[in-house]
Structure 1
Amino acid sequence: MNKQLTLKGFTYKTKRTYIGHIKRFLDYVDKKETELNKQDIEIYMYYLLNNCDCSHSYVNQAISSIKFVYKYVLKKGNVVYELPRPKKEKKLPNVLSEEEVLEILNAVSNYKHKAILYLIYSPGLRIGEVVRLKIDDIDSKRMLIHVKQGKGRKDRYTILSQVSLDMLRKYASIEKPKDWLFPGGKEGTFLTERSVQKVFKNAWKKANINKEASVHTLRHSFATHLLEGGTDLRYIQELLGHKSSKTAEIYTHVSKTNLNKIESPLDRLLKGGDK
């Protein structure tokens, strides 16, 4: 399976995810691969949805993994033909206010950690993209960041804010990175995503933010704040690296710009009563 995933050009992260799904599936059915049938897969899907209360996106990912094995490894694609999928859930992302973002950023004192969070929020980078940045990906003359082989193995450019550049220079003057912008503990490696998650979680706790948030929430907040500031959705799509404009349209549902123009009938009634 690993060989076929590699030949198809899947990333290390996706390969690890798919293989993990298959291991859990085989542990559950406790059968040889040659004995598996469509009913075994449906029973497993029901178990994930009903007993484990897994999200629809998680189950759909498990199905994609199983289909991949049957089609490209076992060469039995007909077994999973017309396999039902749970309906895709339409969930809105959590978004931090500009004040909450500032509180989280101010809760970090370490220049390296601060620079990382700045480079996630200010250009809307994914966590996997920020840890893989190299020094020459920062174009200070054009004020751009070159994101190489982001999600979907796509290159793109996104904006470099002046504040982020100033913070990067402070950090670089102290730690003097040579290749990777944010090197890891071992020589020649970049910082792990888990390390960045810990940095954010500590800052989030220190800032005493009641709202649930993760590192990725900074990316959602970036897009929403741009939209609320009047940036065209097509530009936001390009900056985020979304293939479809429909993916970026989700931010129109969490933006306060249009909602704030609507007056609640209760406010209107009570205002009228006060008069």
Structure 2
Amino acid sequence: MRTPTKISPLRQRMIEDMVARNLVQGTQRGHIAACKLFAAYLGRSPETATPDDVRKFQLHLIASGKSIHNRNRIMTGVKFLLKVTMRRHDLAAEIYHLREPQKIAVVLAPDEVERVIGHAPGMKARVMLSIGYGCGLRGGEVTRLRVRDIDREQHIIRVEWSKARGRRTAT
């Protein structure tokens, strides 16, 4: 059985701020882990951080080979600590986020599409693959399609339950 560890007042205040803002447990864990990394890098409490410390920490994350996604995630947790918990807007202003390069979708050649669809185990799977690829639907959207979602006169498919439970149409 683990013995309870003493939580610093700063960490306790951060936890209270996250709970007050109704952040989910996973987000809270991520923010706390990010702040632990920042404190470990500093070798002291984040309360003593300077703008130069924040800048150097971001450069440290780059040098350590962290992906853009991970750097942004870590800095979001640190920004919460600085801006919300510590109310140090001057330090939070030093944090920057990078846009991840957009990935280009792989477009198959017509003969490759035919081969993929030809390997489907049955007619139902071939139809689902054809509709999914031809209309640019996600797998989950194809599996939730109903006959009433297809408007043959207007040549559109209504996707009632797309990603994040939104609605969209495909032609």
Q: TM-score range by the shorter chain?
A: 0.5 to 0.7
In structure 2, how many angstroms separate the alpha carbons of the residues matched to 1:82 and 1:71? 11
Q: Distance in 1 between matches of 2:62 and 2:32?
A: 20
Counterpart position of 1:13: 26
User: 1:56 is matched with which residue: 68, 78, 82?
Assistant: 68
> How many pairs align?
123
Read off the aligned partner of 2:98 and give its amino acid letter: P
Q: Which amino acid aligns with 1:5?
A: M
Q: Within 5 Å, which residues of 2 pair with 1:141-180?
A: none
Q: Structure 1 pair 234/27, CA: closer, same or farther in 2 (3 Å)?
A: farther
Distance 1:39 1:244 in 2: 46
Query: 1 CA distance for matches of 2:143 and 2:38?
Result: 41
Contact 2:34 2:77 in 1 (8 A): yes
Tell me what 2:35 maps to.
Answer: 22
Query: What is the 5 A alignment of 1:101-112?
Result: none
Instruction: Give the aligned partner of residue 188 of structure 1.
Output: none
TM-superposed CA distance for 1:43, in Å, is: 1.5
Change over 3 Å in CA distance of 1:244–1:221 after alignment to 2: closer
Q: Rg: which structure is higher?
A: 2
Separation of aligned partners in 2, 1:26 and 1:80: 15
Unaligned runs of 5+ in 2: 1-13, 107-115, 122-137, 151-155
Amino acid at match of 1:78: D
Contact 1:57 1:88 in 2 (8 A): yes
Instruction: Quickly say closer, same or farther: Cα 1:221–1:243, change in 2 above 3 A.
Output: closer
Q: Report the alpha carbon displacement of residue 244 of structure 1 after superposing the two structures with TM.
A: 9.8
DSSP-derived class of the 1:241 partner: helix
Cα distance change on mapping 1:239 and 1:49 into 2, 3 Å: same
1:1-275 pair list within 5 angstroms: 1-51=14-64, 53-91=65-103, 221-223=139-141, 235=159, 238-241=161-164
Q: Find runs of 4+ consecutive structure 1 residues off by over 6 angstroms.
A: 97-102, 224-227, 230-234
Query: Aligned partners of 2:159, 2:56: CA distance in 1, in Å?
Result: 44
Q: 1:242 to 1:17 in 2, by over 3 A?
A: farther
Q: CA RMSD in A?
A: 3.8
Change (3 A) 1:12 1:92: farther
CA contact (8 A) 1:70 1:77 kept: yes
Alpha-carbon distance, 1:76 to partner: 1.0
- Once residues 233 and 24 of structure 1 are traced to their aligned partners in structure 2, the CA distance between those partners, rounded to angstroms, is 47
Deviation of the 1:89 alpha carbon: 3.2
Percentage of identical aligned residues: 15
Work out whether residues 2 and 15 of structure 1, in 8 Å CA contact, stay in contact via their aligned partners in 2: yes
Larger RCO (CA within 8 A; separation ≥ 6) = 1
In 2, are the aligned partners of 1:98 and 1:225 still within 8 Å (CA)? no
Give the 3 Å change call, closer, same or farther, for CA 30–13 of structure 1 in structure 2. Answer: same
Q: Aligned partners of 1:63 and 1:30: how far apart in 2?
A: 17
Is the Cα–Cα contact under 8 Å of residues 48 and 54 in structure 1 kept in the other structure? yes
Assess if the C-alpha contact under 8 Å between 1:60 and 1:85 holds in 2.
yes
- C-alpha contact 1:4 1:73 (8 A) present in aligned 2: yes
TM-score normalized by structure 2? Answer: 0.56
